[in-house]
Amino acid sequence: MAMMQSGAQPVVARFLDGRTIKGTTRDFGPNKDLFHLFPWGEEGDQALDIIIGALKAIFFVKSYEGNSKHVEDNSFGSAKGQGRRILVHFKDGEVLGGFTMGYNPKSQGFFLTPADPDSNNIRAYIVNAAVNKVETVTGVPTAGQAATGF
């Protein structure tokens, strides 16, 4: 099994065609067209070239295993985060709620911090080509408002 490289971030790359590859990366950047992914569980240090435009999203994860029984909570009920609260509606029907500091539909994509504090995802980079619509969530008290009652 490949060892996690120093400075490498564990990620799950989900492609538009439904494929998923788990691994690590050290060179992902939101303004790049390509990054390198070292597949998890494979011998050697052979990196795959991943074209960002071929992805639905790249998820920066706590663990590769996650919890298959966990259902993401998109309600923002106990969510604490910075930025605008949004629901991302993907073209494949998946909906993911979270916080973003920089959604721009004209850019390649944007970062999202999940609304669910129990999510296996630390954050995700969502590729706009995979998105059907982004909905701003209003009427949910912020952490400060919930604590103070106003």
Residue 124 included in any domain: yes
Mean per-residue pLDDT of the chain: 86
Do residues 13 and 20 make contact, with C-beta atoms less than 8 angstroms apart? yes
48-51 and 121-127: which strand pairing?
unpaired
CA-nearest of 79, 78, 95 to 87 is: 95
Q: 149 exposed, middle or buried (CB, 10 Å; 0-12, 13-18, 19+)? A: exposed
Which range marks the domain in which residue 90 is found?
9-148
- pLDDT score, position 59: 96
Q: How far is it, in rounded angstroms, from Cα 29 to Cα 19?
A: 21
- Classify residue 43: in a domain, yes or no: yes
Please give the Cα distance from 36 to 81 (Å, whole number): 29
Residue 127 and residue 58: Cα distance in Å, rounded? 8
Is residue 3 situated within a structural domain?
A: no
Q: How many domains does the chain have?
A: 1
Q: How confident is the model at residue 58 (pLDDT cuts 50, 70, 90)?
A: very high
Residue 57 Cα distances to 92, 122, 148, angstroms: 12, 13, 36
Q: What is the pLDDT of residues 8-38, one digit of tens each?
A: 889 999 999 999 999 999 999 999 999 999 9
pLDDT of residue 77: 78
At 98, the pLDDT band (50, 70, 90 cuts) reads very high
Task: Indicate the pLDDT class of residue 43, thresholds 50, 70 and 90.
Answer: low
pLDDT tens across 80-89, in order?
788 999 999 9
